[in-house]
Amino acid sequence: MSAARPVAIVTGGAGFIGSHMVDVLRERDFQVRVIDSLVGGREANLAHHGADGSVTLDRRDIRTVPSDDALFAGARYLFHFAGIGDIVPSIEKPIEYMETNVMGTVRMLEGARQAGVRKFVYAASSTCYGMAAVPTREDHPIDAKYPYALSKYQGEQAAFHWHKVYGLPVNSVRIFNAYGTRSRTSGAYGAVFGVFLRQKLAGKPFTVVGDGSQTRDFLFASDVARAFLAAAETGHVGEAYNLGAGKPQSVNYLVELLGGQKVHIPKRPGEPDCTWADIAKITRDLDWRPRLSFEEGVATVVANIEYWREAPLWTPETIAAATSSWFRYLGSEGKAHA
C-alpha cells in the first residue's frame, strides 16, 4: 500500500538532475515530495510519473519554507539539488547566489534536522576546486574562483556543520560535468550540451571554446542520481565524494558525435583545460560505478533533441555579450594561470 512507502524529499526535483533523482526513487517505490519553484525546472519533467499520487510537487522557493513545515515530516532521505547555477550570473548577482545556495541550504538542513531525516545528501560542485590538478581527489585544496563556486562550497560546509553540531547524518556529492535528457533549456549561457543541441536543431555551427581540445568528465544524469541514492543508503556519514565518469572526453569528440560544423570562440579565463574526477573513493565506499558510456549517453540525448527546441540559440556574438563580465572580473585570475 502507498502508506507503507518510504518518503524522500527532492529539492529542485522538477529540474535536470533532480527529475532523474525522482525517477530512481520511484523505481525503488519511494513516495517522493518534490519542492521546486519552477524558475529553472519544468513540471512536465515529472509528468511521466502519472497520477497515482506517488510524486507531489510543492512550488515554493526553498528560502521560504519554515523548518517545522509538514513537508519534512516522516521523510527518510532529503536530496538537496535546488539552487541557482552558472558562472556569469553569479558574478553579476552574488547576493542572490549566497542567499539561495547558502541560506536556502541552511533552511533545508534545519527542516531535516527537526524532522529527524535519516540522511541529507547535498549536491555540491566540483567548481570548488578551481584550476585543479587531475585526476582530482576529495582532499584537493579548495579554490573557489567565482561566487557560484563559493556559494556551493559554503552550502556544503553548512551541511557538514549541521552534521558536526547537531548530528544530522550528511553526505556531500561533488558533481563534475553532468549531462543528459531534461537539462536546462532557458536562462543564462551555460552548459555545453544545451548550447550545442539548440545549435544542432537550428543547423548552426557549434560554438567551440578555444581549440576544443579541452576535456570534461561527463556523466549521464541517471548515473548521477544512482550515486546520490547510494550516498543516502550507505553507512558512511560526513563524507564528500567526487562524482564523474572518471574518463574525460574532449569537446571536439562531442562535436564529432553530434555531427556538424563548428566555429571557435575565445578561450575563457578561469576555465580548466581538463576536469577529471578521481572516483576511487565513491567506487570503494558506495560500490558505485557509471553504467552508461559517453557514446550511449550522447545518442540518448540526441534521440530526445526536440526537448531543446525552445532553448536560446546562442551565437558567437550573443555569447561574447553574455560573458563580458566573465572576462572583466576573471581575466587577471586567468593570466595568473597562463
What is the mean predicted confidence (pLDDT) over 262-288? Answer: 95
Q: Using one digit for the tens of pLDDT, what is the confidence trace for 113-123?
A: 999 999 999 99
pLDDT at 217 over 80: yes
Distance CA 304, CA 201 (A): 11
Q: Using one digit for the tens of pLDDT, what is the confidence trace for 113-157?
A: 999 999 999 999 999 999 999 999 999 999 999 999 999 999 999
Name the pLDDT band for 185 (thresholds 50, 70, 90): confident
Name residue, grid cell 586567468. 334
Distance CA 130, CA 96 (A): 21
DSSP string, 3-56: GGS-EEEEETTTSHHHHHHHHHHHHTT-EEEEE--SSS--GGGGGGGTTSSSEE
Residues 201 and 134 in one domain: no
Q: Using one digit for the tens of pLDDT, what is the confidence trace for 293-320?
A: 999 999 999 999 999 999 999 999 999 9
pLDDT at 50: 61
What is the mean predicted confidence (pLDDT) over 206-210? Answer: 96
Is 148 a known active-site residue? Answer: yes
Percentage of residues of the chain with pLDDT beyond 70: 96
Residues 7 and 135 in one domain: yes
Distance CA 123, CA 143 (A): 18
Q: In the 8-state DSSP scheme, what is residue 209?
A: E
Residues 39 and 100 in one domain: yes
Is residue 321 included in any domain, yes or no?
Answer: yes
Structural domains in the chain (count): 2
Q: Using one digit for the tens of pLDDT, what is the confidence trace for 89-103?
A: 999 999 999 999 999
Q: Catalytic pick from 77, 148, 189, 241? A: 148
- Cβ–Cβ < 8 Å for 251, 196: no
Residue 101 belongs to domain spanning? 2-178+219-243
Residues 134 and 42 in one domain: yes
pLDDT at 318: 95
Which of 236, 142, 199 has its CA nearest to residue 319? Answer: 199
Largest Cα separation within the chain, whole Å, is 61
Instruction: Give the domain CATH number at 185.
Output: 3.90.25.10
Name the pLDDT band for 47 (thresholds 50, 70, 90): confident
Q: In the 8-state DSSP scheme, what is residue 201?
A: H
Please provide residue 292's backbone torsions phi and psi, each rounded to the nearest 5 degrees. -95, 125
